[in-house]
Amino acid sequence: MLTIYGVYRSRASRNLWLAEELGIPFNHVPVIQRYRLPDPAPAGVMHTRSPEFMRVNPNGHIPSIEDNGLVLHESLAINLYLAKKHGGPLAPANAVEDAQMAMWALWAATEVESPALDILYNRLGNPTAPKDPKIADAAVEKLRAPFAVLDQALAADGHPVGGRFTVADINLAEVFRYAQAAPELFEAAPRVQAWLAGCQARPAFKAMWAKREAEPA
């Protein structure tokens, strides 16, 4: 059976959302980020530097999965694997869609995620550093071009790949979510705004989000 390591308040949310969409059974091991815990860490709490988790992922990051002997790290890659393994409309229908899904995952990680996190942490708060409005404002400017790129990509049929909701939507939506504290970006990219709202209206996202909200902040 699939095991997903990581709390909902982490990048594991991407994998947990996809598992809900696919309707596949899985074990959930709630590994928390070490920086969110006091020093020393409470006894009995598994975290990203716990020896038992470091044996799963020596990088000391979440999420990771184990799936019938296969161990994988990196949330976006995990989602691409799970979608292809379980098939259906969320998976690539052919080699072209497979390549497009990989392209969008890499694009999200390299072009969007870092400045989007700068917005999240510096407008809503960061557990490890004080908020800096200048960093958030600079990140907004960095993201104007990527937002325009996705907005144009959604013009044809409302989805980045295949004209339907796929794993590419999940991977992109979970990265773009970090920028929601900058509404000015979404107002300038109305197709992105409508697309993300549609993604977050899905029952599987709502189920994942309810469990995330139930976790300690």
The upper half-sphere exposure of residue 145, i.e. CA atoms within 13 Å in the direction of its Cβ, equals 7
If asked whether residues 85 and 36 sit together in one domain, one would say yes
If asked whether residues 84 and 174 sit together in one domain, one would say no
Assess if residue 168 is contained within a domain.
yes
- Identify the domain containing residue 24 by its residue range: 2-89
CA dist 41 and 140 (Å) reads 35
Please indicate, yes or no, whether the overall pTM of this predicted structure exceeds 0.85.
Answer: yes
If asked whether residues 47 and 82 sit together in one domain, one would say yes
Return the percentage of the chain with pLDDT > 90, whole number.
Answer: 96
Looking at 60, 89, 118, the residue that finishes a domain is 89
If asked whether residues 67 and 114 sit together in one domain, one would say no
If asked whether residues 124 and 67 sit together in one domain, one would say no
How many domains are there within the chain? 2
CA dist 143 and 157 (Å) reads 23
Q: Is the pLDDT of residue 128 over 80?
A: no
List the strands of the sheet with 2-5, edge to edge: 26-29, 2-5, 64-67, 70-73
CA nearest neighbour of 197 among 154, 156, 145? 154
User: For the packed helices 203-214 and 12-22, what is the interaxial angle rounded to 10 degrees?
Assistant: 140
Q: Is the pLDDT of residue 134 over 80?
A: yes
Mean pLDDT of the chain: 97
